[in-house]
């Protein structure tokens, strides 16, 4: 159990408040002036103690080189988890590919809120509602919401949202490259769900799945 002195608690509270207001951390001098410590060496000593407790990290050669360990601060109850919103941009097929209404993140059909730390809030994230059962062995069920990081590349074995050019349809599958082709592999042993194989130049990656939200029916 981490035990903070009153001075360390004041320093930590000031760093949190300053960073949230300005989007950058305070300097050692600003910490001392606000907390009432005239000696920068005393501020440095307490910052080192906070660093040893893994509550922050420091780049000593940088004037504003403090970074808070927010997940640990939240875990200890020293700060509240910040929440951020992810746009829900429509449906995606986990089965036979379907046409999807194109939407941009400025016009979502809905939003979902997540606590910072579960996923990187600065990532380019979006969400889609799953339609179909082709990914049930990957614990993705019909009606679930998948959260994706927007990217146009992915590694073999990644679960992706793939747009199939020519078919003008999109699908949720595991990605595998096979020579000049791409195999979009379902996760359902039923013969109703066959792999989709297309020329690599006909498959466009729209995003990689980074999390699944179970929707209870």
Tokens of 7: 């001075």
* Residue 66 near residue 48, CB atoms below 8 Å: no
Q: In angstroms, rounded to a whole number, what is the distance separating the alpha carbons of residues 186 and 175?
A: 9
Selected catalytic residue, list 106, 173, 190, 208: 173
Rounded to 5 degrees, φ, ψ at 210 are -115, -15
- Residues in Cβ contact with 43 at an 8 Å cutoff, skipping those fewer than 6 apart: 11, 28, 31, 32, 35, 37
Helix axes 40-52, 28-35, angle to 10 degrees: 100
Query: For 18, left (φ over 0), alpha (ψ -120 to 50), or beta?
Result: alpha
* Residue 97 near residue 164, CB atoms below 8 Å: yes
| Annotated catalytic residue 173 | yes
Selected catalytic residue, list 134, 190, 202, 211: 134
Q: How far is CA 128 from CA 52, 101, 121, 148, in A?
A: 41, 11, 17, 8
Catalytic residues: 134, 173
């Amino acid at each position: 159990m981490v035990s903070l002195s009153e001075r360390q608690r004041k320093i930590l509270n000031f760093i949190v408040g300053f960073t949230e207001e300005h989007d950058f951390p305070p300097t050692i001098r600003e910490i001392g002036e606000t907390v009432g410590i005239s000696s920068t060496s005393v501020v440095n000593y307490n910052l080192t103690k906070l660093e040893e407790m893994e509550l922050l990290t420091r780049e000593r050669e940088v004037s504003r080189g403090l970074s808070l360990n927010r997940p640990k601060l939240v875990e200890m109850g020293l700060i509240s988890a910040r929440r951020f919103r992810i746009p829900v941009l429509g449906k995606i097929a986990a089965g036979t590919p379907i046409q999807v209404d194109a939407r941009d993140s400025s016009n979502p059909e809905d939003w979902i809120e997540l606590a910072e730390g579960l996923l990187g809030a600065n990532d380019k994230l979006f969400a889609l509602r799953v339609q179909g059962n082709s990914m049930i062995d990957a614990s993705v069920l019909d009606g679930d919401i998948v959260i994706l990081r927007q990217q146009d590349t992915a590694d073999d074995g990644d679960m992706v949202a793939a747009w199939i050019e020519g078919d003008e349809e999109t699908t949720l599958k595991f990605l595998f490259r096979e020579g000049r082709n791409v195999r979009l592999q379902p996760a359902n042993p039923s013969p109703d769900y066959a792999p989709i194989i297309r020329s690599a130049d006909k498959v466009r990656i729209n995003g990689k799945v980074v999390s699944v939200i179970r929707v209870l029916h």
